[in-house]
């Protein structure tokens, strides 16, 4: 089975108010060494093992571009691994 680990985050320059709030809370708690913080969404997508790696990759990128991320405001990273 293929396992795709996908993280979707905001692009640079897009205001991420949730991240700002969390960062502010951490600094308020005394964690003074925090320089930045981003939030995002994590997805695990399992694919049938009879797909070749390049087929699995193609499918995942298509899903990411079309559904899981909004390319206007978000970017994503993918890690594709073979799993049990």
Partner 1 sequence: MKFGVVVFPGSNCDHDAYHVLKHVLGARVEYIWHKDTTLRLFDVIVLPGGFSYGDYLRAGAVARFAPIMPEIMHFAEKGGKVIGICNGFQILMEAGLLPGALIPNDHMRFRCQEVYLKVTNNATAFTRVYDAGQVIKMPIAHYCGQYFAEDDILKQLQDQERIAFQYCDSKGEINAAANPNGSKLNIAGILNEEKNVLGMMPHPERAAESILDSEDGLGIFKSLLGSD
Site residues (vs partner 1, CB under 8 A): 10, 14-15, 17-18, 21, 41, 67-68, 70, 72-73
Task: For residue 78, give the nearest of 33, 67, 64, 70 by alpha carbon.
Answer: 64
Report the SS3 class of residue 20: helix
Closer of 73 and 83 to partner 1 (Cβ): 73
Closest separation in Å from C-beta 72 to partner 1: 4
Closer of 44 and 50 to partner 1 (Cβ): 44
Closer of 49 and 77 to partner 1 (Cβ): 77
68 vs 55, 76, 77, CA distance in Å?
18, 9, 11
For 31, half-sphere exposure in the C-beta direction (CA atoms, 13 angstrom radius) is 11
Closest separation in Å from C-beta 75 to partner 1: 13
């Amino acid at each position: 089975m293929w396992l795709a680990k996908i993280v979707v985050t905001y692009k640079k320059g897009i205001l991420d108010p949730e991240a700002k709030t969390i960062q502010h809370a951490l600094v308020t708690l005394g964690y003074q060494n925090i320089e930045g913080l981003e939030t995002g969404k994590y997805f695990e997508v399992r694919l049938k093992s009879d797909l070749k790696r390049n087929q699995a990759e193609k499918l995942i990128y298509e899903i990411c571009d079309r559904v899981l991320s909004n390319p206007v405001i978000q970017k994503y990273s993918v890690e594709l691994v073979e799993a049990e």
